[in-house]
Every structure is written in structure tokens, then in C-alpha cells.
Amino acid sequence: MRVVIAGSSGLIGTALVAALRRGGHEVARLVRRPAAAPDEFRWDPARAEVDERALRGADAAVNLCGVGLNRRRWSGGFKQELRDSRITPTDVLSEAVAAAGVPVLVNASGAHYYGGATADRVVDESAPAGTGFLASLCRDWEAATDPATAAGVRTVLLRSAAVLTRRGGMLALLQPLYSLGLGGRLGDGRQYTPWISLEDEIGAIVFALGAEEVRGPINAVGPAPVTNAEFTRALGRAVHRPTPFVVPAFALRAAVGEFADEAILHGPRAIPAALERAGYQFHHPTVGAALAAAVGRSGDSR
């Protein structure tokens, strides 16, 4: 396949490029600076400009664009930046994919589409959007793919959980603390913490690119949901350290503001029903296995 990737320089994009090339696929990368390599093509989402050569003859496109949710404390301006960094590039790429006749688009989204009010209720891809800023962000992000879907493009909406890798993201922040024995649950620990290993995040994308029956939303989450308390114990086992502490909800709210309630103190009990129905086999089916692989220790893989 020839796969065009937007957002190829990020954590997921870098790993995806490497995996596709190992599999013998050709990768074209959309970049916002002047192209500096044969596989790079410039685009400017703010101006709705895409180098038409990038999509010529492409078998699929993958859009991973988006500013990190926890890059800084949420403000009105930063929340708008989160929206603009996702919705505008998605709309521009969807229009370009539709115009170029690219048959497949895999577009990033988030498991927080379902909001945090699901409590213990299991949610699959048929569940409606939740409430709150992140849920509305994901809903509008996905809606920006409508031009591609309307043109007959097989569009896959990748509702991803936190990706477990020490290269970045949540685990890169937590592992040093846990390694010092400073780990502990967040709030009461009863909220669910959606997770997926880096290998399965990439595996799910590659699988979706080639599986004709996969379309619409897919939950890129591990198949065994855990609460924050369970996640805390699993990470402690992975790094062979106790997890005696509790970070109270009020302290989290004071530290990170609205992000605490939206993404830390609440989370959906999401399952990957669509992926499993299509036959995807998880490399790391439990959070223990995913964490052990991520921190590079055999540990307890429960």
C-alpha cells in the first residue's frame, strides 16, 4: 500500500511510519514546513492547501493531528487550540482525500468520546457521545470526516485510549514517580482508566487499513478495562514498587484544573467490540502485560 500520513512526527505517527515500512509499504508524510525529503509533501491546513502529489495514487490516508491534551493548563484559548489542531486538519484532509479518490481514511479520535458519566457501564462503539468538553471535541472531530464518508471513502474513526509507552504520554510522566515508590491512586480510584499498548495502537491502525469490513468508529482500547486503582497496582507491580499514596481529587483539580475532571477523575469503561468482531488479536490483552512490555520488565502480567 501507499499510505499518506498527517501527524507523522508524533509518538504514534513515528511508530506507525516505522511499522508500515517494515511491512513493505510506501509512506508519504504530510509536513507543514518546506519538504526536505523525498517522502515529504507540504500542506497548510490553515490555508486549506495540500500538495496534490501526496495523494496521487495513494491507497489510504491516516490523520493523527492534534495538540496534546495535557500540554498546558486548560484555558479558553488553549481549548480552542485543541479544537483547531484537530478539526481544521481533519476537514481539509477529508476534502482532499475525497477529491483525490483515496479509498480509505483512518482518522484519530479519543475514547473520551463517551464522556465520564458512564460509571461502571460497559460502552462499545454503539454508545452515544457523552457530555463535557472532550466528548464534544471528539464528536466534532469525527464529524469533520463527513466529506470523505459522503464521497464513499471507507472512513475509520480511531477512538484511542491512553497509549502505554515510556517514550511519552501518561506513562512517561508516571513511571519515574512509581519507580521511586511515590505511586498511588488518583481520587477514589473507582473511575476507569482506558489504556492500550503502543504495539496494539499501531496494530489496530494497520489492521484497519487492510480490513475492508472495518469502518466507522472503533475503540482502540485494551480488551480488559481497569479502574484507576487496578491500574495503579498493575504499574506498581511492573516497576516492583509499592503504591501507597492517594492523590485527592481536590489536589488534582488544583494542579491541572478542568483536565482533572475531564480525563483523570472520570473515564469510560470502553471495550474494543468492533476490533474483536473483525478478528483483531491483541498482543497485550491485559494492562499488566501492556505495562510490563512498556517498562521493559517481565513483572506480573496480570
DSSP 84-100: HHHHHHHHHHHHHHHHH
- With 80 as the cut, is the pLDDT of residue 115 above it? yes
Q: Where are the beta strands (DSSP E) in the chain?
A: 2-6, 26-31, 40-44, 49-50, 60-63, 104-110, 122-123, 154-160, 162-164, 184-186, 195-197, 216-220, 245-247, 269-270
Question: And the C-alpha cell for 156?
Answer: 475509520
Is position 203 within any domain? yes
At 299, the pLDDT band (50, 70, 90 cuts) reads very low
Q: Is residue 228 part of a domain?
A: no
Percentage of the chain lying above the pLDDT 90 cut: 90
Task: From 133, 155, 200, select the one nearest 60 (Cα to Cα).
Answer: 155
Please report the pLDDT score of residue 170 as a whole number.
87
Which residues of 102-252 form beta strands (DSSP E)?
104-110, 122-123, 154-160, 162-164, 184-186, 195-197, 216-220, 245-247
The arithmetic mean of pLDDT across residues 107-112, rounded, is 97
Asked if residue 235 is part of any domain, the answer here is no
Total domains in the chain come to 1
Strand intervals (E) in 181-240: 184-186, 195-197, 216-220
Confirm whether 125 is domain-assigned: yes
Radius of gyration of the chain (CA): 19
Instruction: Name the residue range of residue 92's domain.
Output: 2-164+196-221+269-282
pLDDT band at residue 302 under the 50/70/90 scheme: low
Higher local confidence (pLDDT), 301 or 89: 89
Q: What is the DSSP letter of 211?
A: -
Better-scored residue on pLDDT, 277 or 166: 277
The answer to the question of residue 231 being in a domain is: no
Quick one: DSSP state of residue 168?
A: B
pLDDT at 300 > cutoff 60: no
pLDDT band at 169 (very low <50, low <70, confident <90, very high): confident
Residue 299 lies in a domain: no
All 3 cell numbers of residue 245?
499514596
CATH number at residue 66: 3.40.50.720
Residue 268 confidence (pLDDT): 95
pLDDT at 298: 44
Residue 177 lies in a domain: no
CA 196 to chain centre: 9
The predicted-structure confidence for 193-234, as pLDDT tens digits, reads as follows 999 999 999 999 999 999 999 999 999 999 999 999 999 999
Provide the pLDDT for residue 297.
58
pTM metric for this prediction:
0.94
Mean of pLDDT over the chain: 94
pLDDT at 118: 72
State how far the Cα of 256 lies from the Cα of 237, in Å rounded to an integer.
27
**179 domain-assigned:** no
CA dihedral of 249, 255, 261, 265, whole degrees rounded to 10? -50
Note whether 271 and 124 are within 8 A (CB): yes
